[in-house]
Amino acid sequence: MTTAPTTAPLVEAVDTARPASLWRDTLGSILRQRSAVVGLAILGILVFVGVFAPLIATHDPDQVLLGVEDGVKKRAAPCIHVLGCPADQPQHLFGTDGNFRDVFSRVVYGTRTSLPIGFAAVGFAIVVGTLIGAIAGYAAGSADNVLMRAMDVVLAFPSLLLAIAIVISLGTSYINALFAIAIVSIPVYARLVRSSVISAKENDYVTASRALGESSYGILTRRIMPNAITPIIVQGTLGIGTAVLEIAALAFIGAAPIGAPEWGSMIALERNQLFTAPHIILAPGIAITFTVLAFNLLGDGLRDALDPRLNR
């Protein structure tokens, strides 16, 4: 998707003098992708914010400040002292919400919900999807048919709607939301792995391994699966972005617990205050957008960097 790299060819010429290393080459080609670098940078900031949330947040995200802090107002606009906000008003970088809580601190803590759920949901989907895809692609025949038709059925639902139906049936909790988001994204990975396996298993080196007496398991894990890793990494990165969007959407429509410092539910809670206190909606909205953008840019960059067919 992104444009050709712009680094000077001189640098490359120097590099080739050193012994080539797979990892350094890969890292180099990733870092030549502008979108991957931007995505990584945003992601780095988000992870940093998530890890050090207690140090970055100015307040306890769940603390109702009414009666605790002098002069605190409900749904107060952002007040930053260095930017000219009067010193007698309490400082709130993104203002306060309808429960007298600090919006900035809640947005900061929100990274601790969205990122782990996104990673875990995609991780779960990749593990199950890889298993299904590998079995379907390698075994072929009726096993392939049954597994892939099952995947077709899951894909036949608009993913968010199926996720809603699953969460509502299991009960609203973040664990169930994670589970639902994982289930609806399994087919993507299953199809991806299956097609990689099918195209790889006809290769001569696979036939050679078989002739040498390697077990099916060994052929699958050592000879075939390495071919599937690149597309999984690219799809998984994009998938985390989608998962973050879906968590926010589930929370927004009330299919996740309300009240936790989570971006979607923050917006849901203050939705009707749009015309009086838009900052409460804007802050988590921007947080979601940046998070998803980071994964989309990184995913696009990884695809351009890792796909040998697109090689420069």
User: Residues interacting with other proteins, by CB under 8 A?
Assistant: 1-3, 35, 149-150, 152-154, 156-162, 164-166, 168-171, 241, 245, 248-249, 252-255, 264, 267, 271, 274-275, 278, 281-282, 285, 288-290, 292-293, 296-297, 300
Measured from the CB atom, the residue of 35 and 105 that comes closer to other proteins is 35
In the complex, minimum distance from the CB of residue 37 to other proteins, in angstroms, rounded to a whole number = 14
Measured from the CB atom, the residue of 180 and 225 that comes closer to other proteins is 180
In the complex, minimum distance from the CB of residue 120 to other proteins, in angstroms, rounded to a whole number = 20
Tell me the C-alpha distance between 288 and 171, whole Å.
Answer: 24
Tell me the C-alpha distance between 31 and 2, whole Å.
Answer: 13
Contact at 8 Å (CB) between 208 and 262?
no
In the complex, minimum distance from the CB of residue 304 to other proteins, in angstroms, rounded to a whole number = 11
Measured from the CB atom, the residue of 7 and 221 that comes closer to other proteins is 7
In the complex, minimum distance from the CB of residue 292 to other proteins, in angstroms, rounded to a whole number = 4
Measured from the CB atom, the residue of 41 and 274 that comes closer to other proteins is 274
In the complex, minimum distance from the CB of residue 309 to other proteins, in angstroms, rounded to a whole number = 12
Judged by DSSP in three states, 216 sits in helix
Alpha helices in the chain, H assignment, sequence order: 9-15, 22-31, 34-51, 53-56, 103-139, 141-155, 159-170, 174-200, 204-211, 216-218, 226-252, 263-270, 279-306
Residues shown for the chain: 312
Measured from the CB atom, the residue of 164 and 306 that comes closer to other proteins is 164
In the complex, minimum distance from the CB of residue 255 to other proteins, in angstroms, rounded to a whole number = 6
Q: 158 to each of 123, 126, 277, 292, how far by Cα in Å?
A: 21, 19, 33, 19
Measured from the CB atom, the residue of 65 and 245 that comes closer to other proteins is 245
Tell me the C-alpha distance between 283 and 263, whole Å.
Answer: 9
Contacts by 222-230 with C-beta closer than 8 Å and gap 24+?
Answer: 224/134, 224/138, 224/196, 224/197, 224/200, 225/130, 225/134, 225/197, 227/196, 227/197, 227/199, 227/200, 228/130, 228/133, 228/134, 228/192, 228/193, 228/196, 228/197, 228/200, 230/306, 230/307
In the complex, minimum distance from the CB of residue 298 to other proteins, in angstroms, rounded to a whole number = 11
Measured from the CB atom, the residue of 198 and 206 that comes closer to other proteins is 198
